[in-house]
Amino acid sequence: MGRNKEEAHVRENKIKRTLKTGGVVVGTMISEVRTPAIAQMMATAGYQFIFIDMEHSAFNMETVQDMILACRAAGIQSVVRTPGMERCSLSRPLDAGADGILVPQVETREEVEAIVRETRYYPLGERGCALRRLHSDYRKVNTVEYTAHANEEALVVIQIESEKAIEHLDELVSVPGIDAAFIGPNDMSQSYGIPGQIKHPKMVAAYKKLIEVCNAYGVAPGVHLFSLDDVKEWVGAGMRLIAYSNDVNMLVDTASKQVADIKAILGWA
């Protein structure tokens, strides 16, 4: 009985389960708010996950682990956008207890194969084996059984952000061990030479291709969206891993509207 209790302590990845069964999950991106309390705030709001951004933020690994721990307590899933593709950049968030990783700027099959190799334990990969860490709640576990469960639960997402990645999409998402492919619209629009034009026909075509190719390989297609109309449109078209807005937009835009309303009430210019 004690052994089963130990081995059961691989955290169930609810968003991965939902994606694998064809469902839709909705989260947001956290890049600037450094307090771990943001995890409980977003859980209370009803989001299913947060992307903790280490690519475009000042977050260090200690801050990220505190946020992951808060996510675990709040019952919201944590997915860390890594700062790069180096071995430790890929494995450290998982060792720190993250439910998954989002790897930016992926363009080649060789990169995807390396990502799988560094994030999956034997026999699926070569992820370093440090088991008594936050990801196991520091428990003593059976190595073979725990690593098998961990391979099943870790969510591995590649970020598609360039024209080259779209051109070679079949090569990328066909690599075994990838769970989702996620479009970063801002970088992709730059790659196409249309910065910020996220509704441009080239972008629309890229979104549609991602959905088609991902569905062919059993990989969940996803995208970062910034309007409710876009959520309706692209979830309707087949996007299933949705990150909506981010912490900065929520804080600044909401506060700006409230301040404008207050000024109008007070008759201030």
Q: In CATH, what number is assigned to the domain containing residue 228?
A: 3.20.20.60
Separation of alpha carbons 153 and 232, rounded Å:
29
Structural tokens at position 76? 């919201």
DSSP state of 12: P
Whether pLDDT at 23 is above 90: yes
pLDDT digits (tens, 9 = 90+) for 123-175: 999 999 999 998 988 999 999 999 999 999 999 999 999 999 999 999 999 99
The count of structural domains within the chain is 1
User: How would residue 2 be classed by pLDDT, with cut points 50, 70 and 90?
Assistant: very low
Whether pLDDT at 6 is above 80: no
pLDDT score at 11: 84
DSSP state of 223: E
pLDDT score at 16: 98
pTM of structure: 0.94
User: How would residue 1 be classed by pLDDT, with cut points 50, 70 and 90?
Assistant: very low
pLDDT score at 237: 99
Whether pLDDT at 43 is above 90: yes
Strands (E) across the chain are located at 25-30, 49-53, 77-81, 100-103, 155-160, 180-183, 220-225, 241-246
User: How would residue 8 be classed by pLDDT, with cut points 50, 70 and 90?
Assistant: very low
Separation of alpha carbons 239 and 265, rounded Å:
41
pLDDT digits (tens, 9 = 90+) for 214-246: 999 999 999 999 999 999 999 999 999 999 999
Do 30 and 51 touch, CB atoms closer than 8 A?
yes
Q: Which amino acid is at 198?
A: I
Do 67 and 54 touch, CB atoms closer than 8 A?
no
Close Cβ partners of 63 (under 8 Å, ≥ 6 residues apart): 34
25: which strand partners? 241
3-class secondary-structure state, position 82: coil
Domain that holds residue 112: 2-266
Do 184 and 165 touch, CB atoms closer than 8 A?
no
pLDDT score at 9: 66
pLDDT digits (tens, 9 = 90+) for 95-112: 999 999 999 999 999 999
Query: What's the Rg (C-alpha) of the chain?
Result: 19
pLDDT score at 10: 74
pLDDT digits (tens, 9 = 90+) for 53-109: 999 999 999 999 999 999 999 999 999 999 999 999 999 999 999 999 999 999 999
